[in-house]
Amino acid sequence: MIELERIIKEELLGVNNKKIKEETLNEYLGSLKSKELLRMAIFPAFIDDDFSVFAKVERLNNKPKKDIIDYVTKNLDRILESYIKIIRTNEINQLKIVIKNNDKKIIFGDLPISIHFLLFLKNSFMAKVEYNNKDDSFRVFMPEEFITIFNNCFENKELLKLNKFNNNVYDYVENVINTYGVITIDKLCELFEKQMFKISESKLRHIITIFTVYEDENVYEYDGKAILYSSSFESNDDALTFYNSQKMDYKKYSKEDYKNIANFQYTEKLKSYKKFINYLYRNYYDISEIFDYIKNFIIYDYLASAQLSIEEADNNFRTNIIKILEADNKEVEELLRLMKNIFNEYPKWIKRGNI
């Protein structure tokens, strides 16, 4: 296993989680703290923008825990349906795997996606998650009532249609923010309507907001503008400094290009990228065995981090290349030169997407 993935698992999930046990619905809910139950109860209000639910849950604040459990139990269908409205499309399959193997050992294939989803399950109290570091397996438990409701959700065509709509909107937003780093909501709305379909600014912003429950982009009010910025910025101040230093002269890409830029497939069309790869294959044997690692954790990491600090990106590149390829200083500097050529050709935030 790639060491980075192990670090992600151990830091985010931990290797010493309390052992979970099979529980009835009442036992499961009873094991949660009152504030955790209230977070479950409030979720539909947030997703549906329903102030009547906000008011009902607000009145539960000082009530006995039993009253909160009764409310959650009574409204369980709507609570769980709310989660289905915003989980990512590929995570529906992850949820089906969890349900099919409820309370059994599971070894997931796509670890980063699975960890992200399992954290969402755990932190939103939809399931209890136990990680076994001996064989990198997980055990996930949710009450049978949860499983019944989720299975009904999978048969609800209108609900799945809404999930698809919300995902399509947010996928586009995510692709654009990964291209520009920072963008105002009104500019985003303008791009969206030209390339997708007409949508109100308030609707677009609401979808962004509900997805950022467990996504990393951030909306910030500044100088009379609503600004969306990437999580790669460490703070609001960093994002605003960048925003203030740049002209708002975005180069417009096609919808497909935004997608390809976001997932780095755009990079693979660049001549400089092909030169870098050819150099690796000419000079290092068995490079194919570790090529995916180099692509994901060396090349793409450099392209992202160099937009914030060239010096830090250069230092990380040198350190990692030496470890992976055992390259000498001359080879390292040549590889770095080729890497910088990719960066110069890549659509960077600092250029607002301009090559």
What is the CATH architecture of 159-253? Orthogonal Bundle (1.10)
The larger pLDDT score, comparing residue 292 to residue 337, is at 337
Q: How far is CA 220 from the centre of its chain?
A: 19
The count of residues in the chain is: 355
Q: What is the mean pLDDT of residues 93-103?
A: 92
Q: pLDDT value at position 4?
A: 52
3-state secondary structure 320-344: HHHHHHCCCHHHHHHHHHHHHHHHH
- Residue 229 φ/ψ, nearest 5 degrees: -140, 155
CB proximity list for 157: less than 8 A, separation 6 or greater: none
Percent of the chain with pLDDT over 90: 36
What is the per-residue pLDDT across 28-51, written as a single tens digit (0 to 9) for each? Answer: 999 999 999 999 999 999 888 888
Taking each helix axis as running N to C, give the angle between helix 310-325 and helix 329-345, from 0 to 180 degrees, rounded to the nearest 10.
130
Q: pLDDT value at position 279?
A: 92
Q: Which residues of 151-173 are buried (b: 16+ CB within 10 A; e: fewer)?
A: eebeeeeeebeebeebbebbbbb
d(CA 255, CA 194): 10
d(CA 21, CA 260): 44
Q: pLDDT value at position 152?
A: 97
Q: Is the pLDDT of residue 102 over 90?
A: yes
Taking each helix axis as running N to C, give the angle between helix 185-195 and helix 201-211, from 0 to 180 degrees, rounded to the nearest 10.
100
- Residue pair 230/182 in contact (Cβ under 8 Å)? The answer is yes
d(CA 44, CA 55): 12
d(CA 217, CA 233): 10
What is the per-residue pLDDT across 176-211, written as a single tens digit (0 to 9) for each? Answer: 888 888 888 888 999 998 999 888 888 888 888 888
Q: Which residues of 307-327 are buried (b: 16+ CB within 10 A; e: fewer)?
A: bbeeeebbebbbebbeeebeb
User: pLDDT grade, residue 98 (50/70/90)?
Assistant: very high
Q: Is the pLDDT of residue 74 over 90?
A: yes
Q: Taking Cα atoms as reference points, which of 96, 130, 90 lies closest to residue 110?
A: 90
Domain residue spans of the chain: 3-154, 159-253, 267-351
Q: pLDDT value at position 26?
A: 95
What is the per-residue pLDDT across 130-184, written as a single tens digit (0 to 9) for each? Answer: 887 777 788 899 999 999 999 999 999 999 999 999 999 999 998 888 888 888 8
Token duo for residue 263: 């997932």
- CA angle 113/352/246 to nearest 5° reads 120
